[in-house]
Structure 1
């Protein structure tokens, strides 16, 4: 590991913290592409690079969303009645996504990630002009939606905010509470997905030193150290920005990430 590698991770952590608080995404949409680019520079094999990026991203999300959840609870930005229905589903989906990713050939994983994020961007752009809202579905239906969100999010190594936020917003939950509640969902997805990737990683013989399964501990620690300090900045920005502005920022960011991975 070089000084440049660690410095890049520390700077990445600053960005991840802001994104976690601002958009409720846990920062995975920045961590996965960054690690996919950085890991080969320290000799990590292409055969495990993307799996390590996904697993480490989910591990970072656990740290960043912990701080984000705390700040959103303090600001009363969480709808706990919705969270109780979504969380069981996203936990199940998080485990399913990790298992599916383990069976996808390595060379296709970056493209899968790009396609998923592109779909997230389209969904968010679509929601910018939405003016009607539906009532929140029954608990069982909401849990099933949560399972789908968790599966896709874990497969992409993200917290799922770009799916859970539009879902809640479309069903009458205001944007700030949608983002806050999304942080709890992201934490749950990350824990389940990380467990799945860690267990699968124990069967790989091509991992770099200081790995726990597919989780690369030096990257986890470096990103987490700085992200903790900037999460509250993102939360404050989210409180002060209009709903449509938040959605547009979210959608543009997703398009940039998707284009980076696909091209």
Structure 2
């Protein structure tokens, strides 16, 4: 029951900040899940894979509610989603398969390096200047493959990559955010399947695991994050988001340092 309560609390916090700041829940879920799994005595060689796979599966559920909300406001550019989705699906599935072959420590180091970049980007409030147009079908396929592969390796919905890319390509910010929310769904689905398949024959996984997805944590985190994400979205209109974003980035850096220290 203690661990279930921890998963519920984690889902609530991750969902709230996802709605408040428009960031993927994986930024919080992965390092905290890795710490919780380690505390429960899960095999060290599977810690990061389970944290990544479980977080990616939870994003499937939260991305649906986010997608619906942005679509209702007319902020999703579906032609972009259609053109980038094939590359997203291929890149994310391949990235998850590749992640299953990487030992926990190198995977943790890559996750820490990338999420540190995301955190510093939030602290500095870096935004690319619109300077070009969207590429053609082949270019969108390549971009989607890259976004999908990296998203799978760090269990995020892709917003930290797709939003800057679309902004750079003269897509309005609110449309870039809404379209990124829609792109997050195929990323989460393909990534979840990739981690399921990648861990299907892994030995020593804890009970109630399917591949690299730990079902009790998935159920608790997904349920609570779907509940609190709308609260975060509403709070975004009343709270000092710029200040909270910097605090959130600082919390991410602390969690990353704790996770990396524990794994190394």
Q: Equivalents in 1 of 2:235, 2:213: separation in Å?
A: 31
* 1:80-110: CA deviation from partner (whole Å, max 9, x where unpaired): 1221222221111111111211121222221
Report the count of equivalent residues: 261
Alignment partner of 1:227 is 2:235: no
* 1:196-236: CA deviation from partner (whole Å, max 9, x where unpaired): 11112111121111111111000000111111112222334
In the alignment, which residue of structure 1 is the partner of 2:117? 119
In the alignment, which residue of structure 2 is the partner of 1:195? 193
In the alignment, which residue of structure 1 is the partner of 2:66? 68
TM-score (ref. length: structure 2): 0.87
Shift of 1:21: 2.7
* Larger mean Cα displacement after TM superposition, 41-50 or 249-258: 249-258
List aligned pairs for 1:43-122, cutoff 5 A: 43-121=41-119
In the alignment, which residue of structure 1 is the partner of 2:140? 142
After superposition, the Cα gap between the structure-2 partners of 1:237 and 1:105, relative to the gap in structure 1 and judged at 3 Å, is same
Shift of 1:122: 5.0
Unaligned runs of 5+ in 2: none
List aligned pairs for 1:160-239, cutoff 5 A: 160-237=158-235
Q: Contact conserved, 1:176 with 1:238, CA < 8 A, in 2? A: no
Q: Equivalents in 2 of 1:142, 1:244: separation in Å?
A: 31
In the alignment, which residue of structure 1 is the partner of 2:32? 34
Shift of 1:54: 0.6
* 1:29-79: CA deviation from partner (whole Å, max 9, x where unpaired): 111001000012222111111111010000000011111111111122212
TM-score (ref. length: structure 1): 0.88
Unaligned runs of 5+ in 1: none
What SS is found at the alignment partner of 1:103? coil
* 1:161-206: CA deviation from partner (whole Å, max 9, x where unpaired): 1111111122222222222211121211111111111112111121
* Larger mean Cα displacement after TM superposition, 93-102 or 226-235: 226-235
* 1:101-150: CA deviation from partner (whole Å, max 9, x where unpaired): 11212222211111122233455567635444322222321221111011
After superposition, the Cα gap between the structure-2 partners of 1:97 and 1:197, relative to the gap in structure 1 and judged at 3 Å, is same
After superposition, the Cα gap between the structure-2 partners of 1:259 and 1:160, relative to the gap in structure 1 and judged at 3 Å, is farther
Q: Contact conserved, 1:114 with 1:262, CA < 8 A, in 2? A: yes
Q: CA RMSD in A?
A: 2.6
Q: Equivalents in 2 of 1:208, 1:102: separation in Å?
A: 16
Q: Equivalents in 1 of 2:106, 2:87: separation in Å?
A: 26
In the alignment, which residue of structure 1 is the partner of 2:5? 7
* Larger mean Cα displacement after TM superposition, 119-128 or 61-70: 119-128
Q: Equivalents in 1 of 2:212, 2:56: separation in Å?
A: 11
After superposition, the Cα gap between the structure-2 partners of 1:180 and 1:257, relative to the gap in structure 1 and judged at 3 Å, is farther
Q: Equivalents in 1 of 2:145, 2:13: separation in Å?
A: 28
